[in-house]
Structure 1
Amino acid sequence: MRGVSRLRHLRLEDTPFEAREFSLLWLIALATYGVGDIVTTLTILYYERRFDEANALLVASTDALGRWGLVLPKLAVFLLCLGICVYGARAGDKVLYYLPPVTLAVIGAFATAFNLRLFVG
């Protein structure tokens, strides 16, 4: 039962935020940052090969781990932002609740659009 009581802390019932809104925010962040950016970056780096990764951290990571070197740091950032958002929801802090998924969505949308422009152009 101890694990069940821990899961209660993850629910939004005792916060001013709605579960549907939370799901939508994170679905958008996942689609843009998680899927769009990763898929387009992998396509350019491993199938197009006209361009190199510009982020020095990701260059070192992909040199060491291959494709997982791109995915794992992005997953870590995604999970960190999710944790900040959940903390913000529990604290009733709108900035900590909305800022992480919106920031990831904006960065992901920009990176996806930029990568698509590189790929097509």
Structure 2
Amino acid sequence: MRLPARLTLEDTPYDGDEFTTLWTIAAATYGVGDVVTTIALVWFVPHVSEGNPLVAGVVDAFGQPGLIGLKLGAFLFCLLVSLLAAQDGDRLLYYGPPAGLSLVGAFTTVYNLRLLFG
């Protein structure tokens, strides 16, 4: 399946390897680190509950699939913004989403680990 031209890096000033690296870091920190530590806290540590009201509501309503769906939705939305920004040559919206997700993911992973083992 071929992606629409607006969803590729063709004819943009951005490098595909750089894009892959940025989004791999975002996936590792936000997509894996944050999700895994949140699941460990919410489902396996009885005295800890989700602090984000939106996430807590989704978890209460839909459980683990809801948490994963919410995180995946946020990730895919940010990926779409980044790809569309690449077509427009907008550096802030190209680099911002993976950088933001990486920072949020790294912070929440460390914070969650602190709650798990602290």
TM range (shorter): over 0.9
Q: CA separation in 2, counterparts of 1:71 and 1:57?
A: 13
Deviations 1:22-77 (A, max 9, x none): 00000000000000000000001111222000111111111111111211111111
Runs of 4+ in 1 over 6 A off after TM superposition: none
Structure 2 Cα separation of the partners of residues 9 and 62 of structure 1 = 34
Name which of 8, 11, 16 aligns with 1:14: 11
Aligned pair partner of 1:110 in 104, 107, 110: 107
The 2-side partners of 1:22 and 1:97 are apart by 9
Establish whether residue 88 from structure 1 lines up as the match of residue 113 from structure 2.
no
Q: Answer with 1 or 2: which has the greater Rg.
A: 1
Displacement after TM superposition at 1:9 (Å): 3.4
Please report the RMSD computed on the Cα atoms of aligned residues, expressed in angstroms: 1.2
Pairwise CA distance, 1:120: 0.7
Where in structure 1 are there 5+ consecutive unaligned residues? none
The count of aligned residue pairs is: 118
Output the CA distance in 2 between the equivalents of 1:66 and 1:28: 26
- The unaligned stretches of length 5 or more in structure 2 are none
TM-score by length of 2: 0.94
Instruction: Specify the code of the residue in structure 2 equivalent to 1:27.
Output: T
Alignment partner, residue 68 of structure 1: 65
Q: How does 1:10-89 map to 2 (within 5 A)?
A: 10-89=7-86
* Counterparts of 1:90 and 1:49, CA distance in 2: 47
